[in-house]
Amino acid sequence: MESHLSNFTRLEPVLASLQVPFDPSVARDVMTEDNEVTIKLLYQLFVELSKRKDYGPKGSAVESPATKTGSSLSGSNTEV
């Protein structure tokens, strides 16, 4: 469970920069496999990404907010 929490901690600033509502209760509900909350979160992410001009239908050339701020998860161990 600790690794899940760590992953959500890393996602929180990215989701905030995309203006996708995310808080500890949402993270808990996703971790406990609450399908309604998970689908809502994914849909909100889809809507916000669709608003961005650099978002293509095949996911081409999307620069993440983490990349823009200099934060990067590359090279670190992450669990999915």
Which conformational region is residue 27 in: left (phi greater than 0), alpha (psi within -120 to 50 degrees), or beta?
alpha
For the segment 20-76, what is each residue's pLDDT rounded down to a tens digit? 999 989 999 999 999 999 999 999 999 998 888 665 555 544 455 554 544 444 444
Q: Which of 18, 32, 22 has the alpha carbon at shortest distance from 9?
A: 22
Instruction: Tell me if 48 sits within 8 A of 18, measured CB to CB.
Output: yes
- How do the domains of the chain map onto residue ranges? 2-68
Q: What are phi and psi of 21, to 5 degrees?
A: -60, 130
